[in-house]
Structure 1
Amino acid sequence: MNKIILVTGGSGLVGSAIKDVVEHEGNALPDEKWIFTNSKEADLSNLQDTRTLFEKYKPTHVIHLAAMVGGLFHNMNNNLDFLRKNIHINDNVLETSYQFNVTKVVSCLSTCIFPDKTSYPIDESMIHNGPPHSSNFGYSYAKRLLDISNRAYHQKYEVVFTSVVPCNVYGPNDNFDLQNAHVVPALIHRLYQAVNNGDKKFVVLGSGKPLRQFIYSLDLAKLFIWVLRNYNDVEPLILSVDEKDEISIRQLAELISKNFNFQGTLVYDTSAADGQIKKTASNKKLRQLLPDFEFTNMESAIAHTVKWFQNNHKHARLVN
């Protein structure tokens, strides 16, 4: 039987990367038809829109990426919106998938949903062990409920609804809007402006001390495709680089400034919020399942992302 794979949020950072891997790296199998959809085609927070979309494509498999997302400051100011919008989207996609007899759904969570106060490294068993960081509790609880929904659907109907938990994702086709962007695209966009303006000083918001793991979007895309084909457990699976690859925001800013050949000084605004100081994730389970996977070196991946933005800034996503 041929697979019809519907990717929600298909024009975003991860969806674009999956499309690139499938279409340009020869990763599609002969029995697979890939369909990439986005919010322009259907508002997945609306149940009727969701049903119409599924009626149109009749997917057998779903990679569910669609979500209301944003950076630290956007989350801090809009927790209610993040909670309600994502609950509606996730409920509509899972229930419609069940009603249309979808064989498998792989949804996307995030390491930011883990408890704020916890031991490290965090692993898949610790998602619900305490409150998330206060800065993004709306988004975090909505994503945690997606894991709960997967378990409930599996318990009642024995369907394979599962999820993956990426660490911080970056790469081409990211959202570079300075109001809502995550840290990598925000730093790239602001440094691009600083270099063009001839600035001698560049201000990084926060102390630069928080530690993060970053995964290149094309690496994550390959892992998503592997999960769709091979991982059939309802338990979430962390998709992250190794613990040794964790870097500080200061190191990240220095790496990006180096790729812009920025000759000025980096200054850290300690009056701005840092968010979680660390959220180190263990990829032990992934390494057991896929021991030979090689992650792209961050220096080369950042260099590629900076070059992509320099070449595409006029039509990059600068607004939501």
Structure 2
Amino acid sequence: MTEGNSVIIVTGGSGLVGQAIKAVIEEENRQETPHSKNETWIFCGSKDGDLRDKAQTDALFEKYKPTHVIHLAAMVGGLFHNMAHNLDFFRENMAINDNVLNASYRNKVKKVVSCLSTCIFPDKTTYPIDETMVHNGPPHTSNYGYSYAKRMIDVLNRGYHEMHGCTFTSVIPCNVFGPHDNFSLESSHVIPALIRRMDDAMQKGETTFTVMGSGKPLRQFIYSLDLARLFVWVLRNYDSVEPIILSVDESDEVTISTVAEMIKKAHSFPGEIVYDTAKADGQYKKTASNNKLRSLYKDFKFTPFEQAIHDTVAWFKQNREHART
């Protein structure tokens, strides 16, 4: 990042990753790090402007005059929500991304770091997937709308770099979870959905807990606070337009059934977990290589998965009344 005072806007700042970045920055401010003296961070949520609307996006940039942008805002949802709304996911995310990157270009923003997802990778591919494979074939049919819209950020980044020399880049996290997640039953991802539903089951005194699907699919999960630290590192240190995968190691991949058992332990749920194999599993695996990250940031330490699950369950129990449910 360049020297001097920087103004950093975080779009989607009220969400899971935005709130984690906010926590990391607040900790830096408490420690009075050199960065804290030179950076002003602004966390914008949907109440600050509808980024699907060009005029509202332009007004946000005019108001804050950012020098840097972390672009997290997106229409997001879990497997079943995606399957039912692929067109909506494509159109709304395309509008958001085009408006934010165009406003960044016109306002001479020095750097934009946008957030992609491992679900953008081809459905039929070899593993582990890496940054060179994003456009090598169609994504999984269950969430093609969201996936193609996210891929187009990479296309826009390259276009702005080629035509205008912009430093617009992107990160590709594996599955993110943590405090401030979306715990709604209709549109949440697997970990917050299981945490919420198991809490519901305990409150009702149920003796069994049903997981949709076989529990066999494999996933890599990254704790939101770990991802936040890596996002800040990318903003300050990574200047390539090429995407970079932000993921735990391949050896940290776990089955959904392992996740369910860890959540059961964190909740102290006394009942039995059963699997509804009539429900869709989605993609069996999407193992990502973090070799590029490890080569550039060798000593980064991830929070142990079980500890991160425990802390997330504890946060949900303490904040259930005002969590996104």
Bin for the TM-score computed over the shorter chain: over 0.9
Name the counterpart of 1:235.
242
Post-superposition, which runs of at least 4 consecutive aligned residues in structure 1 deviate over 3 A? 25-28
Gaps of 5+ in 1: none
Deviations 1:248-275 (A, max 9, x none): 0000000001111111111100111111
Aligned identity (percent) is 65
Whole-angstrom distance in 1 between the partners of 2:254 and 2:178: 17
TM-score (norm 1): 0.98
Whole-angstrom distance in 2 between the partners of 1:168 and 1:25: 25
The counterpart of 1:8, out of the listed 7, 11, 17, is 11
Name the counterpart of 2:280.
273
Question: Shift of residue 168 of structure 1?
Answer: 0.2
Deviations 1:144-176 (A, max 9, x none): 001000001000011100000000000000000
Deviations 1:19-77 (A, max 9, x none): 00101344653110000001111000100000000000000000000000000000000
Whole-angstrom distance in 1 between the partners of 2:267 and 2:60: 42
The number of aligned residues is 318
Whole-angstrom distance in 1 between the partners of 2:137 and 2:240: 23
Name the counterpart of 1:220.
227
Gaps of 5+ in 2: none
Whole-angstrom distance in 2 between the partners of 1:88 and 1:252: 34
Question: Shift of residue 306 of structure 1?
Answer: 0.2
Name the counterpart of 1:23.
26
Whole-angstrom distance in 1 between the partners of 2:7 and 2:137: 38
TM-score (norm 2): 0.97
Name the counterpart of 1:310.
317
Q: Secondary structure at the match of 2:324?
A: coil
The answer to whether residue 43 in structure 2 is matched with residue 36 in structure 1 is yes
Name the counterpart of 2:82.
75
Name the counterpart of 2:123.
116
Q: Secondary structure at the match of 1:30?
A: helix
1:41-60 equivalence runs, <5 A: 41-60=48-67
The answer to whether residue 304 in structure 2 is matched with residue 297 in structure 1 is yes
The structure with more helix, counted as a fraction of residues: 2
Question: Shift of residue 196 of structure 1?
Answer: 1.2
Whether the 8 Å contact between 2:11 and 2:69 is mirrored in structure 1 is yes
CA RMSD in angstroms comes to 0.7
The answer to whether residue 154 in structure 2 is matched with residue 147 in structure 1 is yes
